[in-house]
Structure formats: C-alpha cells, structure tokens
Amino acid sequence: MEARNPARTATVAQVQQMSHSRIPHLPAREQCAQTWAQSLARPRPGTGLARGLPGNAVCKAPPAPPRRSPAGSLTQLQVPSRSARPCSLGFAKGKGVGTNMAEDSRGGPTCSWMGDSQDPVPGSGGYNFPEYEIPEVNTRAFHVGTIGELWRGRLRGAEDLSLKEPRAPELPGCPGDAASDPGDAAVARDLDCSLEKAAELRAVCSLDKLKCLEEGEDPEAIPEDTELVTLGIRKRFLEHREETITIDRACRQETFAYEMESHAIGKKPENPANMIEEGELILSVNILYPVIFHKHKEHKPYQTMLVLGTQKLTELRDSICCVSDLQIGGEFSNSPDQAPEHISKDLYKSAFFYFEGTFLHDKRYPECRDLSSTIIEWSESHDRGYGKFQTARMEDFTFNDLHIKLGFPYLYCHQGDCEHVVVITDIRLVHHDDCLDRTLYPLLIKKHWLWTRKCFVCKMYTARWVTNNDSFAPQDPCFFCDVCFRMLHYDSEGNKLGEFLAYPYVDPGTFN
Amino acid sequence: MAMGTPPGLQTDCEVLLSRFQETNSVGFEGFAELWRSMKFATVFSGKMRNLEKNTFTKEALALAWRYFLPPYTFHIRVGGLYLLYGFYNTQLCQPKQKIRVALRDWDEVLKFQQDLINAQHFDAAYIFRKLRQEKAFHFTAMPKLLSYRMKKKIQRTEVTEEFKDTSDRVMKLITSDVLEEMLNVHDHYQKMKRKILADNSLQEKAISLIKDDFFDTIKNIVLEHQQWQEDRKNPPLKPKDGEETREERSQETERCERAESLAKIKSKAFSFVVQASKSRRHRQVKLDSSDSDSASNPGQTQAAKKKRSRQTLKSAGKKAPSRNKGHERSTRKEEKSLRLSMPVIKEEEENGSCSEQEFTVPKRRRRY
C-alpha cells in the first residue's frame, strides 16, 4: 500500500485540480483523504456513486432542520397523536391570539389546515420553500409564517434584517482618507484579505467607476451616439411624439397611481410602540372589484393592499372599501330628506374569507351569520368532488397562520352576495424603506380608477339618486345628482310632483 | 402595472455580458470599462416619468438578476452581479428600487459568495457584500409577483445559450468527491481481496471481477471530457488581441463566422463513422450524407441557424450516452453505434486518449 501512496496522492490532487479548474485562479486546497470506513461512519450528502455501489450504507442526508408539519402552530387543534413534533414557533400565534388555539369550544368544527386538500411541503431538500404549482402562475400551498422563519434564520447575525438606515457607504468629501477607512477592517475580515486589499477594493469598486456622464450633462438626455438598443427604441418613440405634436403629460390617473404607490414610503410612526419590528412579513394582496363590466372581461380591476403578517384577518376585512357596504336599501321618493338611517355596512355585518378549503367567518358581532353554511351544505349534499370544507373564526387568525398559495385566487364575501376574488401576490420581509408605522396597515397602494356616473341633467356632479318609472326622466333608470333631483321632482315646498320611484345611489367610483 | 422586460434591454445586457465574457478576467475594472464605454447608465435617461421609471427599473433589476443565478457560467454570473450593482446604483428612482431575492435562491447565492471568496475573486465578493450592506435586497417568497393574470402569452424566460454553463451533467455526477470515494472504495476492495487471497489461497483469477485500473481510466475519461469542453468553448470565440479589434467587430460578422464554424463542425462530425466493437460487428454504421444542411446560407440569423442545426442533429443526439456512470462503463459501448462527439473507449484496448477534437452541437441543445 505504501508504494501506491505517492501515485494516489498525485491522482487525488489531479482530481481536485480538475474539478476546481472551472473556477479560475484557485489556490490549491489541502487534500482531505477519507477512508471508506470514515465515509461509512458519517452520513454524507448523497452522491451518485454512493447510491450505486452495492451494499453501502451511505445514505443521502442533507443537513435539514427537523421537518415541520405543514400545520405549524395549528397542530394543537388536531387530535394530539397526529403531530409528534412540538411546535416552537411563538410568532405564529400572533399577538393576543395565543390561547384561543387550544380551545375547541368556540366556533364550530375544528379548523384543519392539514386537510386533504393540502399539498404539504414539497420543498427542496426538506425545506418549506414555496414552489410553483403552475409555473409562473401560482405556487403550492405553504405556511406563511414559515417563510418569515426561514428568512430570519438565514439572515440572523447579519445586518440584513435591521430597519435602521444603513451607514452611508461612501462618505463624500474625504478623498484624502483613501488610505484608511474603518470599514476596511470589516471588509478584510469578511473577505479574508489584507487591509491594503480592502482599501484597494474600495477604490476599484467605487461608484464613480459607474459614472457615464460628464459633469453638467443632463442625466435625462439621450446621448446622440448611443449604441444601446433600449435607448434607440425610446428615442424613436420620443421623436415620433414630437413629429405628431403629441403632448405627453401625466394624466391624473397616472399621478394618482404613483401617489398611491409611494405616499407611505418611509413613514415612521410618532409613537415608537407602533413601529414595525424587524423580520416582520409584508403580504401584498390584490382584491378584485366585484363589478362585472364587459370592458373588464380581460383584465379585472383590482386594488392592492399591503398587510402585515402579524395582523389579523379582521383588520383586512375592515379596511376593504366596497361600495356595496354603503348601499342604502329602501325607496325614498316620498321622503327624500329623511337621512338614511343605516347603511348596509351596519345592517349586514357577516363576511367570510375562503382560503384553502377553510371558510373564516367574522364572528365579532352577535348578528354575524355563517354565510358559508349554504355552500358547505351544497358541497356535502352530493359527491361533488370537493374535499371537506372547514370553518373557523376570522378573528382568531393572523396572516402568519395561514396556509395559502401565492398567486392563487381566493374569496372574500360580504353583504350576503358581494363576492371579491382575493389573490395574495407577494410575501417579503419588511425593509427600512417601507412604511414602518403599523397603524397605517393594511395600506392601500393601488386602486383602480373607476369613472363615476354623472347626473343626467348637469353632467357634472356624481349621481346620488336613481329613479325608475319616472315620468320626468328620458330613460329608465335615470341618474341624478342631489340638486337636480330635487329641482326636477319636487316643488319649492318639497311636495312630490308626478310619479316615480327613487332610490339613493352610491357610485362605485365614490372612493376615488 | 405589468411591463414585461423592456424592449431592447435584454439585447443590450447580453452585448455587455458577452463582451465581458470575452475579457478573460472577472475583475470589476474590466466590467466598469465596458459599462462606461457603452454609457450603460443612460438606459435610465429619456425623461421617463415616475411610474414608468419605477416599473422600468424593477424590470431591469429582475433581468440582471437572472444572469446572476445558475445555469449560467461562472463568468456570466459575475457579470450579472456587476450588472446588478450598476443598475442599482445608477437608477434614477427615489427611493431606490430593490433587488428581489427569493427564498429558494438564497442558498445558491450564498454558495456563490463563498466560492468567490475561496477563489479570491475579491472584486465580486466585495461588491456583493456592499450591496447587502446598502440593503439593496428585498427578501421575498417568490421571485416575481404572482397575480393570476391569465396572459395570452406567458412570457417564458429563455436562457441565453451562449452564456449557459454546459458542463454540468457529467461534472455534477463525477465530482472530485465521487472520484475520491471511488478511489477509496477501490483501494479498500483491493486490500480486502489480498487479505482473502492470502488467507485462502484461492486462485486470483477466480475473483478477478473488475478492471484494476478502472479508476485511472475513469479519471482520464473525465479529464478528457473536461478538456474537450474547454476546447469547445474557446475556438469559436476569437482570443482577444486588443481592445480595438474587439470593439470594431460587428454582430453580423460574428454571426457569419459562427454559422460557418458550426457548419464546418457538423460536416466534420458526420463524415466520420466509428467502427463498432467486435461484439456488434453486424451493426456497422453507414454514413448518410446530409450535405443539404452544411454550410448553406451563412447569412441567416444566428437563432435560425442554431435551431436548424439542433433539429438536424436531433436524431444523432438521442443516441448519445447521456450518463457517464463510472462503474457501469460496460454499458456505454452498447450505445456507441454512431460516432459522436465524445471520445470512444474500446473495451479491448486501453487507450486513454483517443481524443479527437470534434465537437458538435448536441450538447448545447440541452435546455435546463
């Protein structure tokens, strides 16, 4: 065996050289000789060879944290034998909801997130990474809170999670200090290089290496001799506009949209207790409008809200502005001055969310009913191919507790029959540039601009009344603003003239 | 507001990256020089209003991010990192648009960072560290926002062929760890055998079931493969002599040369047919000329040419042995009825280096 050693050493070195030659200029690593016995004793990441050799005991054991059941924190609702693993995720309980989980006494049948409709944790290597179910369209179901956990676990110790403003990396006005900078020591430590090298790197990679314009040149002007295709296209576009004398200004919709997107950026709360903690998750939720106009059949209009992982579902529910909440029932042609006593929002308080086989009802008020019972009965009456639906209380759950698919349509239903499709589009960690005031969440960042119906008479004001069977009106139904309505239908004493039916009207564009 | 990748931006990025790839260095200086020469920061100019600026910048960062992840080659990935750095710092949005990184990609990113440090590519490692320090990243669940818009044509992100790292299949399987283990196993086996022989004095022939030098052979095969990969990559790209020559050359002539070299390679590959081994002597391969395809229309666009060459080689490609399992070497010879790009090892002779430098395109066909 001894004679073979030099040859073998050379072989091993050659092998290592070969595999590392893809990465250029690599200094030679030390050789790590392992015996067969050693490799047996220690489970190693699977190799093709290890699997193929007969009778070997090396098994594929990627270093994975203990596998979590997809139910996460909700396992306590299950029959105890189901989940052997204690769940150590304190975050998932949300604030102030913790004790509710264990009690089954409230709210109907126990909520099961581990229902058969779930597709638990495919993940690569045992992690609960969200993966595409339909590529580029939506993911498989996963636990929201886990995403936060996984990220926080990976970023712990580094500065990435912090919400403090980062130290300005390049302090302007001290060129003379090129030789020394306190950051250099940290660089040298992290990159395992010398202090001089760190200083050199700072110079070589500085931002002015990226400057493409001279001093005084307008950054918005397209250079004449550009070779960039992008600019060529943009230039042609601008030139075309000049030729056709098209004035390109921001219309109010664009200004409105931009304002919505950016109005809350960087806001800090006055009361520090309202500051969002680092590591918090922000979900971006699209809520589609229930209006069904023909022109919307390709792209349904929607509004986008940002919501925190630790917020309850009820908070989102309360912040959804839907015009059907403001409807006033009743015919008021005889008493137009009688201020409507109740808007629908006050009268019909029931609502539910539907996520992954579970209906989550708002049970905060005694008059809230279970709107989904009809659906559940329907589904169970025959074998319709849907799994068993569950019900739960909306106020018991935060977004961190949910199992959802990203990009998949779910439902929000209120007022009995006003249904909104809800899509969760994104989940990410909070960043110091975000709005950090938790009282502002759920935060509306995108809203569809709906054209309001104007009064038929003046064509200026938004309609507030709609009439049927109206002898004064040229069409049925006809819309009027308040002033025109009274002028047309009532005399100066307020007596009703003619025959008509009048209903208060709330335009969907009211929230613009 | 869904924009999709802005028109022309991908072309520009790929021009920059391919020029960067041709400089044989991964240092930031080289990249910065190219960046300045192309005045790349001006992609943001043109008086875009706020909303459009935001969307454009987001798309630009998403585009650059793609080049930072596998399956691109190491060089391109470093270029992608520099491109991200460039876009992030020269954008005109206030506050800056961030770079989205999804959970499933983060481990790969960290591994890349570690590779950079180990290989002492300090520029790239420093720049990544700097981006992280500047909080340039948004840590997300998925790379893109998913809103269930049923677009008629879902934009498929295509991987640019030239930048793709093609060596992976074989190298991933036969890594240095694997080979070391093989060697260990082999040694151990030999030791055990000798022990048994010493004890029982069985005929050595009776338990001579393997080739004693199979490890060396495997190693040589893999080394050759790697060498072939290297050589295949380098000849089509002319080595850089000086800055001026490279910049003067236009895209069209590059394509012509490429098409011609492809055609040449193809005709060379298909003109030679190997002798099948003795056990399959009744199934010798006959050469069928397919001259219609070779060296025709060099003026055709690159994409069309590649597609055609892919199609014509499809039948050949299917017969290529797709796996190089070391200990199942014997099965390989069954698949070698048609001579393809890999060097052939006949069972009877132990020639470790019949390396013909013939390459064809089938390898490139594989999409990951």
Per-residue pLDDT for A455 more than 90?
yes
* Residue with the larger pLDDT of the pair B190 and A62: B190
DSSP string of B24-86, one letter each residue: S---HHHHHHHHHHTTGGGGG-S---HHHHHHHHHHHHHHHHHHHSTTB-HHHHHHHHHHHHH
Give residue for tokens 């690599």.
A26
Average pLDDT, chain A: 74
3-state secondary structure string across B133-167:
HCCCEEEECCCCCCCCCCCCCCCCCCCCHHHECCC
Question: Please, is B236 exposed, middle or buried when counting C-beta atoms within 10 Å of its C-beta (0-12, 13-18, 19+)?
Answer: middle
- As a whole number of angstroms, the distance between CA A120 and CA A113 comes to 10
- Please tell me the predicted confidence (pLDDT) of residue A109: 36
- As a whole number of angstroms, the distance between CA B274 and CA B342 comes to 11
Cβ-nearest to A427 among B12, B110, B140: B140
- As a whole number of angstroms, the distance between CA B171 and CA B222 comes to 8
Decide if A228 and B12 are in contact by the 8 Å CB cutoff: yes
Question: Please, is B44 exposed, middle or buried when counting C-beta atoms within 10 Å of its C-beta (0-12, 13-18, 19+)?
Answer: buried
Cβ-nearest to B38 among A159, A222, A227: A227
- Give the mean model confidence (pLDDT) for residues A469-498: 89
Reported as a single tens digit per residue, the pLDDT across B42-81 is: 889 888 888 889 999 999 999 999 999 988 889 999 999 9
Helix (H) or strand (E) holding A149: helix A144-155
Reported as a single tens digit per residue, the pLDDT across A283-330 is: 999 998 887 777 766 778 889 999 999 999 999 999 998 888 888 878
* Token duo for residue B275: 């002798």
- As a whole number of angstroms, the distance between CA B124 and CA A169 comes to 17
Integer-rounded Cα Rg, in Å, for chain A is 32
Per-residue pLDDT for A360 more than 70?
yes
* Residue with the larger pLDDT of the pair B85 and B321: B85
Average pLDDT, chain B: 72
Residues facing A308 on adjacent strands: A282
Domain boundaries, chain A: 255-325+342-447, 450-511
Decide if B176 and A232 are in contact by the 8 Å CB cutoff: no
- Please tell me the predicted confidence (pLDDT) of residue A344: 72
Decide if A229 and B11 are in contact by the 8 Å CB cutoff: yes
Q: At A454, is the pLDDT very low, low, confident or very high (cuts 50, 70, 90)?
A: very high
Determine phi and psi for B139, rounding to 5 degrees.
Answer: -95, 110
What letter would DSSP give residue B344?
A: P
Q: Is residue B9 within 8 Å of A230, Cβ to Cβ?
A: yes
CB proximity B192 to A under 8 Å: no
Reported as a single tens digit per residue, the pLDDT across A322-352 is: 888 888 878 888 887 776 666 777 778 889 9
Per-residue pLDDT for A77 more than 70?
no
CATH classification code of A255-325+342-447: 3.10.290
Q: At B269, is the pLDDT very low, low, confident or very high (cuts 50, 70, 90)?
A: low
- Please tell me the predicted confidence (pLDDT) of residue A337: 79
Beta strands at A478-480 and A142-143: parallel, antiparallel or unpaired? unpaired
- Please tell me the predicted confidence (pLDDT) of residue A90: 31
Top residue of B56, B112, B142, B212 to mutate, by most chain A CBs within 10 Å, is: B142
Torsion angle defined by CA atoms of residues A194, A198, A203 and A209, in that order, rounded to the nearest 10 degrees: 120
Decide if B176 and A19 are in contact by the 8 Å CB cutoff: yes
Give residue for tokens 């299950």.
A78
Per-residue pLDDT for B342 more than 70?
no
Cβ-nearest to B42 among A44, A212, A299: A212
Per-residue pLDDT for B98 more than 90?
yes
Top residue of B81, B146, B175, B186 to mutate, by most chain A CBs within 10 Å, is: B146
- Please tell me the predicted confidence (pLDDT) of residue A457: 92
Give residue for tokens 């990951």.
B368
Decide if B328 and A52 are in contact by the 8 Å CB cutoff: yes
- Please tell me the predicted confidence (pLDDT) of residue A92: 34
Q: Is the peptide bond before B343 cis (omega within 30 degrees of 0)?
A: no
- Please tell me the predicted confidence (pLDDT) of residue A73: 36
Residues 71-110 of B with CB under 8 A from A: 74, 85-86, 89-90, 92, 95-96, 98, 100, 103-104, 106-107, 110
- As a whole number of angstroms, the distance between CA A238 and CA A246 comes to 10
- Please tell me the predicted confidence (pLDDT) of residue A160: 82
Residues 114-153 of A with CB under 8 A from B: 124, 129-131, 136-139, 142, 147, 150-151
* Residue with the larger pLDDT of the pair B40 and B236: B40
Per-residue pLDDT for A378 more than 80?
yes
Nearest Cα to Cα of residue B122 among A204, A183, A185, A28: A204
Which segment of A72-86, B24-38, B169-183, B281-295 scores lowest on mean pLDDT?
A72-86
Reported as a single tens digit per residue, the pLDDT across A133-154 is: 888 888 899 999 999 999 999 8
Per-residue pLDDT for B255 more than 50?
yes
Region of A246 please: left (phi>0), alpha (psi -120 to 50) or beta: beta
- As a whole number of angstroms, the distance between CA B61 and CA B99 comes to 6
CB proximity A246 to B under 8 Å: no
Q: Is residue A359 within 8 Å of A392, Cβ to Cβ?
A: yes
Which segment of A16-25, A181-190, B71-80, B170-179 scores lowest on mean pLDDT?
A16-25
- Please tell me the predicted confidence (pLDDT) of residue B247: 45
Per-residue pLDDT for A168 more than 70?
no
Which segment of A255-269, B55-69, B189-203 scores lowest on mean pLDDT?
B189-203
A268 CB-near residues (< 8 Å, 6+ apart): A275, A436, A437
- Give the mean model confidence (pLDDT) for residues A490-509: 86
- A297-332 burial, b if ≥16 CB within 10 A, otherwise e? eeebebbbbbbbbbbbbbbbbeebebbbbbbbeeeb
- Give the mean model confidence (pLDDT) for residues B133-152: 84
Residues facing B138 on adjacent strands: B100
DSSP string of A279-316, one letter each residue: T-EEEEEEEE-----GGGSSS--EEEEEEETTSBHHHH
- As a whole number of angstroms, the distance between CA A342 and CA A200 comes to 72
- Give the mean model confidence (pLDDT) for residues A213-221: 79
Q: At B338, is the pLDDT very low, low, confident or very high (cuts 50, 70, 90)?
A: very low
Per-residue pLDDT for B87 more than 90?
yes
Per-residue pLDDT for A157 more than 70?
yes
- Please tell me the predicted confidence (pLDDT) of residue A126: 47
Query: Which residues from chain B sit within 8 angstroms of residue A155, using beta carbons?
Result: 139
Per-residue pLDDT for B33 more than 80?
yes
- As a whole number of angstroms, the distance between CA A313 and CA A303 comes to 17
- As a whole number of angstroms, the distance between CA A308 and CA A398 comes to 9
- Please tell me the predicted confidence (pLDDT) of residue A37: 37
A219 CB-near residues (< 8 Å, 6+ apart): A213, B42, B44, B45, B92
Q: At A450, is the pLDDT very low, low, confident or very high (cuts 50, 70, 90)?
A: confident
